[in-house]
Structure 1
Amino acid sequence: MKILDKFKTGVLLVLVTASLLAEPAAIRWQQWGKAPFEQAAQTDKLIILDVGIEGCTACRWMDESTYTHPGVIELINEHFIAVVADAEAQPDIGERYSDWSWPATIFMTADGTQVLALAGNRRPGNFIPILEKIIEQKQAGDIVPDELTPYSAPPEPVETGISVLRNRLRAQLDRRLDEEHGGWSKNGISTTTGARLQHLYLRAHMYGNGELERLALNTSSAYLKAIDPVWGGVYVRSFDKPPARFEGLNAVPEKRIANQASALIAFSHAYANSGDDRYLAGITEVDRFLNDWMKDGDNTFYTSQEDDPPRLADGMNATDYWRIGNDEGRQEYGIPPIDHAAYTDKNAELINALIITYESTGDDRYLDTAINTVDALLQNRKTEHGWMLQAHATDSTADDKRMRPLVVHDKPYLGAQAWMGTALLALYRATGDAKWLEHAVTIADAMLDTLYDGKNGGFYSSPPDETATIIPPRKPLELNAVAAHFLYDLWVYTKNDGYAEIPEATIRAVATPEILRREGRITGQTALLLEKLTAAYVEFSVVGDPDREDAQALFNAAREAYHPRKLLHYENPGRYPSGNEARLYICNPDRCSIPITNPADVAGFANRFRAPASGSGLFEFSG
């Protein structure tokens, strides 16, 4: 197996005995890097790459059944160079091969050419013939490139108008929308659709479109069906018509914090738009799972939980286990494994969702949780260069029996920077505390210094390294959209023109027609960015001393006003006139409100700024 004892604490002293020598061989897995490709070239072998995550039962099956099979071990060790990567610990690799998640099994030549990619688990009886066929093709010289090879960074930016890109993506997402049940799946809902759902709510709000709001609420309602009634939290997907193995539960019972973040967004927007207490209850159930099962002692959150408990009885499967309707009954069979790694990008994504939850409910618990988690990440993971580490080993991970090693690289990953920046600006929007803006600026500057392509625009998923000459660096679409959205909002807040042109240059660097089609439904963040670039910001500026009650009252009223494009902050007098009492100004690139001094008037004025501005709002400000 690929579980590496060296990633557990302690030292194991082993006496070499006859019984040890008789143990079966194991696959000789290596970490991702240039060395395996050089070895493949020297030995004239193919690369086999295994990519997956810990909270993946299909990955566990393949690890414990397929990769321990003597026939599989023999074929791989003799004919392949075996490489393994955790998609969350090494998110640049995970993102590249996410089309085949999880596990993804990738076959490559020594020069990095992908020749075959497999999605999902393969049992030995199915996997051995695949290995034998590709070995035969290699020996016969019949290896051909895979047409579905992951895209690399486009050679030049696209020149298509931003509004054209926006309309193209709207149509692409709307074609896949289930107008009856909500969501973008043909059967049930995947609880990873938070960004797409935000996009629906944003458009519904912006145009006052009741049909879009109905579709958005239907989708949020479908999330309620994915809640685990015993321990809380949402499963990774639910079904209207479940496959046989999920009958009775009607869900895939794995849980991941990215899905919990998505659910918080779904329920928070629904509650803000409807006031329906079902969504408030949904929020509570997600929060219960996060705090009871996924929270580490340092206030960060673990990554995922699998579906199979350790003591599953003969004749039972995971569906039977999760159908047990009480805690005591489940505990009898043990607790399904939890991946105790806490990744910066996933935690920051959750922080952003917690702030949206706080804004929609007014419940301080969610704000406090978000602040505690941000503080922990900044204290333990912010480097002297200003960027964030993706992970670090902790006492909580020491005893995990991992399928893939928890590799901690001292380098910036785009997802960690973009999501952390987004989380910090969300905190700034919710609290007005300037320290969060200062941290966001530091991370933005480090992200630009280490990951931005100054020639063609766009951000690399990680700094190009020694493998860049083998596999071309990649600028992932959705993470570039998150980064560009972060920098757009940061530009509005700081008025720093150094950020002004980056958002549009970034999306033009990555949003080619081919890439948009390739990503299909996984374009929610890109859609949100394009809406922001074309509809423009709506800036809520409280001019007054943040320590005064009148300024705080205006700030709180503005925070409570539902507006998906809102950017709220305190501002010193200068750009706007000051007076004896605090004032709120609401502005887009077209116009500004009159000075607002009564908190009761804020929601009404905010409603007047729902429609898009006439211009994009790039490179100019009202006021």
Structure 2
Amino acid sequence: MEHENALIKEKSPYLLQHAHDLVDWLPWGEEAFKMAKRDDKPIFLSIGYSTCHWCHVMARESFNDPIVAKLINETFVPVKVDREERPDIDNIYMNACQLLTGTGGWPLTIFLTPDGRPFFAGTYFPKETSQGMPGLKEIILKTGELWEKKPEDIDNAATEITMAIKRMNAPTQPHEIQERIIDVGFEELEKAFDHENGGFGSSQKFPLPNHLYFLLRYGLLKEKKALEMVELTLDKMRLGGIYDHIGYGFHRYTIDPKWRIPHFEKMLYDQALMAIAYLEAYQTLGKELYKETAEEIFEYVIREMRSPEGGFYSAEDAESEGEEGKFYLWTMEELREILDSHLLCEFFNAKKEGNIPDETGKPSGENILYMKNIPEKFAEEKGIDPTEFLKKLEEGRRKLFNYRSQRSPPNKDDKILTDWNGLMIAAFARGYRIIGDKRYLKASKDALGFIMEKLYKNGRLMHRYRDGESAIWGNLDDYAFLIWGILELYDATFDEEYIKLALELSEELNRHFKDEENGGFFFTADYSDSLLIRKKEASDSATPSGNSVHALNLLRLGSILEDETLTKISEDIIKSFAAKIKRIPIAYTLLLVGAHWHQKGGSSLVIAAKTKSCIPNKLKSTFIPYLTITLKLEDSDWSFAPETLRNKKVLNECTYYLCKDKTCHPPTQDPETIIDILTK
């Protein structure tokens, strides 16, 4: 009979992956900590997620090895955490790893005292010591000996590390943010920019859409060079192997600087954030390639990541059949047989010996498909009619897609997370507004309907839904990202009910997450589980921070409603992190977007009208930084809004009230006047 541990009762796909490990895992909770205290054992905390390649490797090597598993079970109380279910736990203990090792990542391996204080940390460990890397067996044996013979040393180390984590997360005194910091942020990004390949960094490459959002706005309002940085990055990403040219969507990152060799997992949040980046760039730069890329991302998400009930799944694995990338890689023989075209093989840069190395650095015989140039330019270089080549390319893509569909697909993490769904709701709503495809509006509305039906209980959001169960109190990101999605739906439909819902969720944040003393919002509510510390942060990672997103939400709501109270809370968020922004502006690029909006003043357009036809089409198609539009139809209810907004009346069929850069213009019935002022 197959071994089972306590994770068998969990809903998380990641935890269920480990329910048959030989390690006697417990889920995070009271039982584990009580057992550790009762048995006087440290806790072996392992944090990961279902699509994490090295999590799978460590499980195969160690957690299912009889000797290592026995050592863990005898020495520790072993606890497994899905970082996507419990980002609050992951955030704290990732800090411990970064403090102790200077780096972080997953799987995250932490040893804790029975009261939850960390005293050892690392990421992936091989089973045996090799090439200077300590093996897990050796680490466990040494820890067991130390726990037994020198417990005071462990206690002292745990106290010291805990104090360091608390210092690291101590609130800073709020103060005004310097106007110059926006320029410093750009200068830092320019220094870190790869001027040959786009993106940031010289080895691994991550999408980092927050940087692109900042650069687009900075480029439009101040320095055109910033737009060139965005354009090069989006072009290179779209052509590279980080993009799935056959089934669409972006992989998580690449292990090379040219965007060619991906780490193959696909995350929902990357699809949402990159779709928004390409849509904004399409509006700004007018490249059809950017519009097509957003459309392809949406096609992938609707096809692969949408549940029958309307919510969006979390991720697809990097592995299939135990091998990373197996689903996505091709031999030259396969390509020639399927495509029957040397030209398409050349276009996708396939080679007989393969175009990616194996673990030893030698040619692997396998190919990841990528482009060096857009199809039209490739056709011109070859003296081929571009239209004919595009037709041939699409035929070839379909053949490869159909062939690949017969392979064993990567595992799908089918839990539905409120925060990541909020991002996808925002992306689809933006896609509808810019492209006009009604499927996108339906996808956005259906997902919001799912969240409000399944994950909104008694005025509070829950974080995770799977297999009929909603669980775990919502965190700051859940509220902030969902409000972002709701505000995008307002911009797409001008239905004031979305504004009411955004305000309702925002009020819950104010009541239970706000740091009343220093400004900003804690990651967890005051009614959430008590952990080692209550974190409050604004630096961006793979996803933007909840504080930076909500600062922008409040700016939008304040501008839409002409409510200075909301604008002030947004300003307080930025002020509360001003000292940290000053130290490392590049870590807070989305918060810099909020600071830039405050400095510029933004533009707010109220349209008092009898019909929606009063909204100028040009304002739907043009990207204008820091513009909000409020549509006040005569028969709509704005009784919840401040008096200044309620008093704006229809003076004719359409009346436009515009304030721009802290200056308000006289009301007008001429939309061209408004467009001229906004697009100067």
TM-score tier after normalising by the smaller chain length: 0.7 to 0.9
In structure 2, distance between residues paired with 1:513 and 1:25:
42
What does residue range 398-547 of structure 1 map to in structure 2 within 5 Å?
408-464=470-526, 468=530, 471-477=532-538, 478-513=545-580, 517=584, 522-545=587-610
Quote how far apart the aligned CAs of 1:345 are.
0.3
In structure 2, distance between residues paired with 1:189 and 1:595:
49
Quote how far apart the aligned CAs of 1:39 are.
3.9
Letter in 1 for 2:573: T
The answer to whether residue 308 in structure 2 is matched with residue 297 in structure 1 is: yes
In structure 1, distance between residues paired with 2:446 and 2:127:
43
Quote how far apart the aligned CAs of 1:433 are.
0.6
For 2:122, the equivalent position in structure 1 comes to 118
Letter in 2 for 1:503: S
In structure 1, distance between residues paired with 2:70 and 2:423:
42
Unpaired runs of at least 5, structure 2: 13-19, 99-103, 130-134, 331-365, 370-396, 539-544, 634-644
Cα-Cα RMSD: 3.3
Quote how far apart the aligned CAs of 1:510 are.
4.1
The answer to whether residue 71 in structure 2 is matched with residue 75 in structure 1 is: yes
Q: Deviations over 1:247-298 (max 9, x none)?
A: xx62221111111112202211221122212112211221121111111101
Quote how far apart the aligned CAs of 1:101 are.
2.8
Letter in 2 for 1:509: S
In structure 2, distance between residues paired with 1:391 and 1:383:
12
Q: Deviations over 1:200-249 (max 9, x none)?
A: 10111122x2211100111211220222122111111235557xxx9xx6
The answer to whether residue 11 in structure 2 is matched with residue 5 in structure 1 is: no
The answer to whether residue 137 in structure 2 is matched with residue 128 in structure 1 is: yes
In structure 2, distance between residues paired with 1:281 and 1:362:
13
SS at match of 2:466: coil
Could you say if the C-alpha distance between residues 162 and 49 of structure 1 is closer, same or farther in structure 2, counting changes exceeding 3 Å? farther
For 1:581, the equivalent position in structure 2 comes to 653
SS at match of 1:54: coil
SS at match of 2:119: strand
State whether residues 6 and 26 of structure 2, in contact with CA within 8 Å, keep that contact through their aligned partners in structure 1: no
For 2:271, the equivalent position in structure 1 comes to 260
Could you say if the C-alpha distance between residues 136 and 513 of structure 1 is closer, same or farther in structure 2, counting changes exceeding 3 Å? farther
What does residue range 581-620 of structure 1 map to in structure 2 within 5 Å?
581-588=653-660, 590-600=662-672, 602-608=674-680
Could you say if the C-alpha distance between residues 515 and 349 of structure 1 is closer, same or farther in structure 2, counting changes exceeding 3 Å? farther
In structure 1, distance between residues paired with 2:567 and 2:368:
52
Given candidates 204, 227, 231, the residue that maps to 1:213 is 227
Could you say if the C-alpha distance between residues 288 and 174 of structure 1 is closer, same or farther in structure 2, counting changes exceeding 3 Å? same
The answer to whether residue 57 in structure 2 is matched with residue 61 in structure 1 is: yes
State whether residues 310 and 447 of structure 2, in contact with CA within 8 Å, keep that contact through their aligned partners in structure 1: yes
In structure 2, distance between residues paired with 1:514 and 1:584:
37
State whether residues 586 and 606 of structure 1, in contact with CA within 8 Å, keep that contact through their aligned partners in structure 2: no
Quote how far apart the aligned CAs of 1:465 are.
5.9
For 1:154, the equivalent position in structure 2 comes to 170
Quote how far apart the aligned CAs of 1:392 are.
1.9
State whether residues 457 and 505 of structure 1, in contact with CA within 8 Å, keep that contact through their aligned partners in structure 2: yes
State whether residues 236 and 256 of structure 1, in contact with CA within 8 Å, keep that contact through their aligned partners in structure 2: yes
For 2:419, the equivalent position in structure 1 comes to 345
In structure 2, distance between residues paired with 1:353 and 1:338:
21
Quote how far apart the aligned CAs of 1:607 are.
1.5
What does residue range 287-366 of structure 1 map to in structure 2 within 5 Å?
287-310=298-321, 319=329, 323=368, 326-366=400-440
In structure 2, distance between residues paired with 1:377 and 1:516:
38
Letter in 2 for 1:218: L
SS at match of 2:604: strand
Letter in 2 for 1:199: F
Q: Deviations over 1:84-138 (max 9, x none)?
A: 2111122222343456332212223334333332234644553222333444444
TM-score (norm: length of structure 1): 0.82
For 2:41, the equivalent position in structure 1 comes to 45
Could you say if the C-alpha distance between residues 42 and 359 of structure 1 is closer, same or farther in structure 2, counting changes exceeding 3 Å? same
Quote how far apart the aligned CAs of 1:437 are.
0.5
User: How high is the sequence identity, in percent, across the aligned residues?
Assistant: 21
Could you say if the C-alpha distance between residues 59 and 596 of structure 1 is closer, same or farther in structure 2, counting changes exceeding 3 Å? farther
For 1:280, the equivalent position in structure 2 comes to 291
For 2:441, the equivalent position in structure 1 comes to 367
In structure 1, distance between residues paired with 2:312 and 2:475:
19
Could you say if the C-alpha distance between residues 45 and 516 of structure 1 is closer, same or farther in structure 2, counting changes exceeding 3 Å? farther
In structure 1, distance between residues paired with 2:217 and 2:320:
40
Unpaired runs of at least 5, structure 1: 10-23, 396-406, 609-623
Q: Deviations over 1:379-438 (max 9, x none)?
A: 2222222x322122236xxxxxxxxxxx95352311111111111111112221101111
State whether residues 189 and 223 of structure 1, in contact with CA within 8 Å, keep that contact through their aligned partners in structure 2: no
For 1:236, the equivalent position in structure 2 comes to 252
Quote how far apart the aligned CAs of 1:502 are.
1.7
State whether residues 652 and 669 of structure 2, in contact with CA within 8 Å, keep that contact through their aligned partners in structure 1: no
Quote how far apart the aligned CAs of 1:190 are.
1.3
State whether residues 151 and 474 of structure 1, in contact with CA within 8 Å, keep that contact through their aligned partners in structure 2: no
For 2:642, the equivalent position in structure 1 comes to none
In structure 2, distance between residues paired with 1:123 and 1:585:
67
Quote how far apart the aligned CAs of 1:333 are.
3.5
In structure 2, distance between residues paired with 1:162 and 1:127:
48
State whether residues 89 and 390 of structure 1, in contact with CA within 8 Å, keep that contact through their aligned partners in structure 2: yes
> Number of paired residues?
568
In structure 2, distance between residues paired with 1:452 and 1:574:
29
Letter in 1 for 2:89: I
Could you say if the C-alpha distance between residues 260 and 450 of structure 1 is closer, same or farther in structure 2, counting changes exceeding 3 Å? same
What does residue range 386-401 of structure 1 map to in structure 2 within 5 Å?
387-394=460-467
Q: Deviations over 1:140-184 (max 9, x none)?
A: 354424497476642453335353654554444443222332212
Quote how far apart the aligned CAs of 1:531 are.
1.9
In structure 1, distance between residues paired with 2:658 and 2:581:
39
SS at match of 1:76: helix
Could you say if the C-alpha distance between residues 435 and 47 of structure 1 is closer, same or farther in structure 2, counting changes exceeding 3 Å? same
Could you say if the C-alpha distance between residues 287 and 4 of structure 1 is closer, same or farther in structure 2, counting changes exceeding 3 Å? same
Could you say if the C-alpha distance between residues 378 and 479 of structure 1 is closer, same or farther in structure 2, counting changes exceeding 3 Å? same
In structure 1, distance between residues paired with 2:121 and 2:582:
18
SS at match of 1:391: strand
SS at match of 1:542: strand
SS at match of 1:417: helix
For 1:106, the equivalent position in structure 2 comes to 110
SS at match of 1:201: helix
SS at match of 1:181: coil
Could you say if the C-alpha distance between residues 74 and 311 of structure 1 is closer, same or farther in structure 2, counting changes exceeding 3 Å? closer
For 1:554, the equivalent position in structure 2 comes to 615
Q: Deviations over 1:491-542 (max 9, x none)?
A: 222344543432222233345439964xx85533222222223223311211
SS at match of 1:570: strand
TM-score (norm: length of structure 2): 0.75
Could you say if the C-alpha distance between residues 119 and 556 of structure 1 is closer, same or farther in structure 2, counting changes exceeding 3 Å? farther
In structure 2, distance between residues paired with 1:241 and 1:456:
40
